[in-house]
Amino acid sequence: MSLATAAAPDGAVHVRRAPLPSLTGLRFIAALLVFCFHVTLSNSPVPPNGAVNPFADPGLAGTLEWLFSKAGYMGVSFFFVLSGFVITWSAKPGERMRAFWRRRVLKIFPNHLVMFALATVLFAGAFTPVRAWLPNVFLLHSFFPQGDVYVSVNPPAWTLCSELLFYMLFPLLIKPIRRISENRLWLWAGIMLAGMVAVQLVTLYLIPATPKSPITPISVTQFWFGYIFPPPRLFEFVLGMILARAVMAGKWMRIGTLPAAALAVAGYVLALNVPFVFGFTVATIVPICAVLLAFASADVRGERTRMQGRTATWLGEISFGFYICQGVVVFYGRTLLPDQPFATPVAVAVVAVLFVATLLAGWGLYAGVERPLMRRWARSRPRTMPIANPGMVPASALTGPAVSTTSAAQAAETPR
């Protein structure tokens, strides 16, 4: 099998990496986890903070809320690791920093601004503090520790603040990442894991435990620092970058997709039973890495997975829209229904309607906003001021089709 090559400005020959369609499909699974978390909440982040969970049976409602109480955290963590992995995997040798930043900004800001405007008109304009407006527009609001700022307007958009930080820093981060010796990649991966543990220890023992958060068992400031604040989430993004380099170098841990999925379930069960803050990232991060490596390496080897089909790919492509719409469709949509919960059959129907509405809204954002703008404005111009090349890929690291990385580049964006 021949390998496609491309010449970089420095004259070196670089191998084009195989596409990773399974990772596109997995994006929707992560977004679906966030949906399940949102739709079973007993306290909405949108005033009057009523229950989103539509089930009248208290036992069933409580069980569902507990069962999916870590689903959103796991989904978001997967997105952050995935972003680092795929952006590193699909990085173009010699690409201008401005071109890279333009493409990433075009990916997240149009959808964000559409949902910001819609949320403002429908509900957020009535209670959002003035100090939250400007940071929210420019995706800086999760840098503020006040609860009415970091989840203001369209609540799911807080994750985009972290993604924007990742994108701005990537051209700088890739330089030291590419210098890591192949034999030390897993050492640095372990350092990233230790950093995540350290963040939660700081959260527990150094961040004030008051005032208490109305929707979590910790304080508003602890929830912000341990989960919302963008800089600590860099550990997940950088870990994803290191994993991408490990796969490029053929140094990844070989694990099948089914064992990886079983490990993800085990990690989720662990998250349900550890102290609250360790359920944000620590309990599930190793299973997330295992799933990412298993499906990425399967794609590289040219193996078939259940995440590569047309339906899975389409769902993955609209997953960002599906995610970012949830603040309006799920939280605001629930307020349009009667305040009281429903009998189980009706409650199931309510969840189904909210799911379909969110799916259609996400498709609309993708087809009407995201895709047209990316096609029109995301093309690169002639290269100047290149980003540091993430490194040559040894031919031994690739055993699958060597083609362009369009699918991989699409998978780099999260909901985040």
Place of tokens 């972290």: 162
Q: Look at residue 387 in the predicted model and tell me its pLDDT.
A: 52
Q: How far apart are CA 63 and CA 329, in angstroms?
A: 23
pLDDT in tens, 145-167: 999 999 999 999 999 999 999 99
Q: What is the CA radius of gyration of the chain?
A: 21
Q: How far apart are CA 31 and CA 319, in angstroms?
A: 6
Q: How far apart are CA 159 and CA 227, in angstroms?
A: 10
Which H or E element spans position 14?
A: strand 13-15
**Contact between residue 4 and residue 402 where contact means Cβ atoms under 8 Å apart:** yes
Q: How far apart are CA 251 and CA 249, in angstroms?
A: 5
Q: What is the band of 409 on the pLDDT scale with cuts at 50, 70, 90?
A: very low
**What is the percentage of the chain residues whose pLDDT exceeds 70?**
87
Q: Look at residue 95 in the predicted model and tell me its pLDDT.
A: 80
Model confidence, pTM: 0.89
Q: How far apart are CA 227 and CA 147, in angstroms?
A: 12
159 closest CA partner among 171, 144, 141: 141
293 closest CA partner among 86, 90, 87: 86
Between 85 and 400, the more confident residue is 85
**Contact between residue 24 and residue 310 where contact means Cβ atoms under 8 Å apart:** no
Minimum mean pLDDT range among 14-28, 126-140, 283-297, 345-359: 14-28
Q: Look at residue 295 in the predicted model and tell me its pLDDT.
A: 95
**What is the percentage of the chain residues whose pLDDT exceeds 90?**
75
Reduce the DSSP state of residue 123 to 3 states and report it: coil
Q: Look at residue 359 in the predicted model and tell me its pLDDT.
A: 98
| Residues constituting the chain | 416
**Contact between residue 229 and residue 143 where contact means Cβ atoms under 8 Å apart:** yes
pLDDT of 398 above 50: no
Q: Where are the alpha helices (DSSP H) in 42-157?
A: 58-67, 71-89, 97-122, 130-137, 147-150
Q: What is the band of 32 on the pLDDT scale with cuts at 50, 70, 90?
A: very high
Reduce the DSSP state of residue 306 to 3 states and report it: coil
C-alpha pair distances (Å), 386 with each of 94, 169, 175? 4, 14, 12
Number of C-beta neighbours around residue 399 at 10 A: 15
Q: How far apart are CA 359 and CA 365, in angstroms?
A: 10
Q: Which residues pair with 6 in a beta bridge?
A: 14
Q: How far apart are CA 229 and CA 145, in angstroms?
A: 8
As a whole number, the mean pLDDT across the chain is 88
pLDDT of 410 above 50: no
Minimum mean pLDDT range among 136-140, 313-317, 338-342: 338-342
> Tokens standing for 20?
């990773």
What number is the average pLDDT over the span 250-268? 92
pLDDT of 403 above 60: no
415 closest CA partner among 21, 19, 35, 22: 35
pLDDT of 312 above 90: yes
> Tokens standing for 124?
């957020």
Q: How far apart are CA 219 and CA 15, in angstroms?
A: 49
Q: How far apart are CA 92 and CA 288, in angstroms?
A: 26
The set of residues, in sequence order, having a beta carbon less than 8 Å from that of 247 and lying 6+ positions away, is: 89, 293, 296, 297, 300, 397
DSSP string for residues in 241-266: HHHHHHHHTT-SPP--HHHHHHHHHH
pLDDT in tens, 105-122: 999 999 999 999 999 999
pLDDT of 11 above 50: no
What number is the average pLDDT over the span 178-188? 95
Structure letter (DSSP) for residue 330: I
Reduce the DSSP state of residue 365 to 3 states and report it: helix
pLDDT in tens, 329-369: 999 999 999 888 999 999 999 999 999 999 999 999 999 99
pLDDT of 4 above 60: no
Between 414 and 228, the more confident residue is 228
